[in-house]
Structure 1
């Protein structure tokens, strides 16, 4: 969730008066970080995952499933373990936006040896088991991207009711009690985002039109002007930030490698979003999308009407094309510069200050672009800081630009190096799936750096892919812009930019074409090598122990089968389950009973008591272990 500063939260009116102060000192803090750490080199590969979970409460006698608002109680116990044994704890637990969510990560990052791939899944299993120790009867810790009936009447345990005319969320559907109350940041974000925007956030998802679907879907459009009659209307931050995801963070050996990874992974973001699609149901309705991305983007969209281009600029400086939660707008490496074909908004004064302090154009542009956003969560105790030592003002803006990739400087006084965060993936039902996806993405980074591959395409095409990747059944039915010749290295010109549809001097545009996810991952004979064959080629040259080799191959087989469409995405599986349920009326409605049966089935699949070859394949097992054999330990 980002920076969790302790203190007294300020209202938007109080925060607004300090926006320039935060921006000025945040820029100064980054400059100081950069000057101190730009020459840092020699950090080893370290990486880790973050998984968000939903606590679900089953009432079997009633055939009901609710979200359980017990995250604060469970986290207090889990965090006490960390406080008592900070150096030996195996899992770290953190709060998330909702009172029914928790986030778990490995206690320590994984290292560079391939044997680490064999402990990821076990860590996930034991992580889930540790938190599950403190569940009550009927509760289950589930790795599902979205709770299907979030925002429906009585979707919480204990029961709560929304308060549309008072409180923090002021939602028609999402109650204040469903926001995590253990830290003031979360409700403060809710209030300040709505206040800055000047109205409720508004997400309208196209309904999945079945033969008995009623249009309008509900009466929301009569209550809120932003609601569209042919869509599922969502009006609160909780509908987006109350979803779960799977994220990865990589430490690079230096700042230049971090910038390369940031750029090269960017075109993979929409591919992996579509690959991990897992959220077709929102507020009890089947929608015509498979992913959460635009939901969460809209849920924190604090842009005013002027910034959204609905009114002439008067109080605000820029018309901003995207929410603060969206895909990135520019590459950071010199090789990526010519593919920055979207105009980048930034404050000229901030940009000039960064440049005057020795920061190159691309990085200065990136930071200045992040800082066109106001802070939306500020604490009174953190207003005045020592810019030589503190970084809270920088992190305040950095951590509330929730983008597909995040470029992360080293924390001050830390052994942690330059990092990048890969953020598009939806969380999967089983630990096997999540481990497979994590290991696949990590292996892709190894292949990129080892073979010096080039995945760069115009950033506008990445944006187009992000929208296509969220469509229903996108993995099988959509084509995505991707680089056809990923082994071609062209020295970056100083000023040439690649614009899709026009031929630049070196004909870079000819190297970009439309491909299916199957072609991207599995390859197409004579046209594209495929990511899995490249990974296997890389592995063939490495010394891998037998158990790790077996585990990796099981993961890669799963990735191949899903990419080819042989097995379902989670979203397709959920959609099929709902539409084939005996109680489904072909009206796009996911009833309480359908919801219960769906989640019960996913719970059984998650726990391994129900086999599901159509989701996992027939051999979704690995030789994962808790520890790396002593002879194989390596920190390089």
Structure 2
């Protein structure tokens, strides 16, 4: 979730008074880091994944499932038994936005050898087993992206969706003032409630999330919700949309992320750009969140929901009123796709109007920062700090980076370019952020290995996926739509090989750099992008297979990788369902479903119970996993029911 400082959080008005101080010193901190490590080379490839989990409790007698607000307690126990007892413990646990959430990572980064790919799933299994072992009876650790429950207060005053049961309080004080999402469901670390409150105060109103509802046979048309007790909600909600009003509906979702350490700053910038074009493709492939607030939506991914949930822009910044109190029109939420490429080869494809802080940009140029990196940082720093702790206002800029990270870590983009922390042995890194978390450790491992292996191939074969950034933004919109993996068409580069460096059948010669960019890309299906189509595109899986054939890989590791790639291949072709499609089919076929887009408590219970059984390998799911899933049962499962 980013920087987690300790101390006394300031209100928005107090934070705003220090905003220029934070930006000014944040830039000084970045400059200290840059000048200290700009020439650093030969860092070894290291990488790691982050998996976010939800804690749920099953009431088998009443056929209900609720989110358990014990994340802080579970986290404390896991850390005490793990890293605090043994610094080399194989897992690490960290807090997340929801008090029903925790985040798990490997204890140490993975290295550069191919055999590391064969340890990812085992580590994810260990995480699941560790956390499950300390849960209470009928509780489970779930890797679901969004919690579908109708108990997320479809109507004001309905039963709560949490254990212990708490209800939202939209009238009196509090962080979110949500009609639906109680503050008790927010992690108790002061950063999270302060973020929630300050986003609302800076914006001048509650956040507004409107998700198109899926129109089934008996769904009212138009579908209209009424909120007679809340004028703000009545104004903000839209016909034929599911309305949500709190940061928790976005940041309370779970995701899967990967961070890579590059050998140098130039390699990190190159990877940042190349992977940015892959983000919408992998997001559509990993689609896993079709349900919101107890309704079936017409989207499959959480990205737009989470983007709206932290959109702190004022009406002026959103272009709804003339600029008076603010400095800029800002085209996107601070949680969105990237706005500029960082490498020289990406410069000509930077076709999005970039809003920057011109004074910061000039300062960076004068300090020897090149144009592309300077505009990237100056764009991040048009944002205000959202949280500030009284004890963290005055810092040693040469040895601390809290002010830089304050802005950097609250620009939640598809890719994040991460300078090394001051005085550390950590190198330049990039973070790949668009993936939805999957039900099983096998699936999550498959997506992680696919992305990491792709970075190896990009660097080894000097691949070039770059297209105009505006087209990547269009791809992001398509990727979130229902069944985008099968029905969507995505702009993708036709010739990804630079000057014949790649050794993959089907790769042609690189185009002359003076040719029109429009001739370099075309619309493709995800099946074509991933699996290839003769005469059109070689396909990413065939390229990865070619790379594997030229590498020395032990039999077990090769087998694991091929199993993972088989899952990706079949998801792309439609032979296997995405999690989102599987969930839709499950609800559509539930005996209680009335084809009205409503998910009842009982339906939600059945779905989450089935998800948990699949994750713990207590039942098969060939339409989701095929035959590649290895059947090794977990021990200590506490949630199975004979009902």
Q: State the Cα distance separating 1:229 from its structure 2 match.
A: 2.7
- Is 2:77 the counterpart of 1:77? yes
1:174 aligns with 2:181: yes
Match of 2:590 among 556, 581, 584: 581
Contact kept? 1:46, 1:111, Cα under 8 Å: yes
Cα offset, 1:211, TM superposition: 1.6
Check the 8 A contact 1:263/1:332 in 2, yes or no: yes
Asked whether the 8 Å contact 2:349–2:468 carries over to 1, the reply is yes
SS of alignment partner, residue 384 of structure 1: coil
Asked if structure 1 preserves the Cα contact closer than 8 Å seen for 2:491 and 2:524, the reply is yes
TM (normalized to structure 2)? 0.93
Distance in 2 (CA, whole Å) between partners of 1:528 and 1:234 is 41
Q: What are the equivalent positions in structure 2 for 1:10-89 lying under 5 Å apart? A: 10-89=10-89
- Selected match of 2:445 from 411, 435, 448: 435
| Residue 638 of structure 2: aligned partner | none
The answer to whether the 8 A contact 1:325-1:402 is kept is yes
Question: Is the 1:53–1:103 contact (alpha carbons within 8 Å) kept by the matching residues of 2?
Answer: yes
- Relative to 1, partners in 2 of residues 1:576 and 1:509: Cα closer, same or farther, differing over 3 Å? same
Q: CA separation in 1, counterparts of 2:616 and 2:564?
A: 18
Deviation at 1:572, TM superposition (A): 0.3
Cα offset, 1:623, TM superposition: 10
Query: Equivalents in 2 of 1:176, 1:271: separation in Å?
Result: 35
Aligned residues, how many? 612
Q: What's the counterpart of residue 3 of structure 1?
A: 3
Quick one: distance in 2 between partners of 1:279 and 1:602? 13
**TM (normalized to structure 1)?**
0.95
Q: Deviations over 1:328-367 (max 9, x none)?
A: 0000000000000001111110000001000000000000
1:580 CA displacement:
1.1
Q: Deviations over 1:363-418 (max 9, x none)?
A: 00000000000000000000001111110000000000000000000111211100
Report matched runs for 1:196-595 at 5 Å.
196-214=202-220, 215-220=222-227, 223=231, 224=233, 225-488=235-498, 505-595=514-604
Once residues 590 and 623 of structure 1 are traced to their aligned partners in structure 2, the CA distance between those partners, rounded to angstroms, is 32
Contact 1:143/1:429 (CA < 8 Å) preserved in 2? yes
Cα RMSD for the two superposed structures: 1.6
Shift of 1:595: 0.2
- Helix, strand or coil: the match of 2:434? coil
Helix, strand or coil for the counterpart of 1:332? Answer: coil
- SS of residue paired to 1:423: strand
C-alpha displacement at 1:587, in angstroms? 0.6
Give 1:603's aligned residue.
612
Asked whether the 8 Å contact 2:224–2:238 carries over to 1, the reply is no
Q: Distance in 1 between matches of 2:613 and 2:82?
A: 30
8 Å contact from structure 2 (residues 462, 498) kept in 1: no
CA contact (8 A) 1:3 1:396 kept: yes
Contact 1:554-1:621 within 8 A present in 2 as well = no
Kindly provide the CA deviation profile for residues 249-303 of structure 1, in whole angstroms up to 9, marking residues without a partner as x.
0000000000000000000000011000000000000000000000000000000
Unaligned runs of 5+ in 1: 491-502, 625-636
Contact 1:548/1:623, CA 8 A, preserved across alignment: no
Q: Is the 8 A contact 1:551 1:623 kept in 2?
A: no
Per-residue CA deviation, residues 208-255 of structure 1 (Å, 9 max, x unaligned), is: 011211233421386421111321000000000000000000000000
How far is 1:165 from its partner?
A: 1.0
User: Any idea what the Cα deviations from partners look like across 1:183-205, whole Å, max 9, x if unmatched?
Assistant: 10000000000000000000000
C-alpha distance in 2 between matches for 1:220 and 1:229:
13
Match of 1:558, SS? Answer: helix
Give how far 1:505 is off. Answer: 3.7
Is there any run of 5+ residues in structure 2 with no aligned partner, and where?
A: 154-158, 501-511, 634-643
1:622 and 1:29 map into 2 onto residues whose CA distance is 50
Q: 2 CA distance for matches of 1:349 and 1:489?
A: 39
Distance (whole Å) between structure 1 residues aligned to residue 305 and residue 183 of structure 2: 19
Match of 1:142 in 2: 142
Which residue of 2 is the match for residue 618 of structure 1?
Answer: 627
Distance 1:142 1:544 in 2: 33
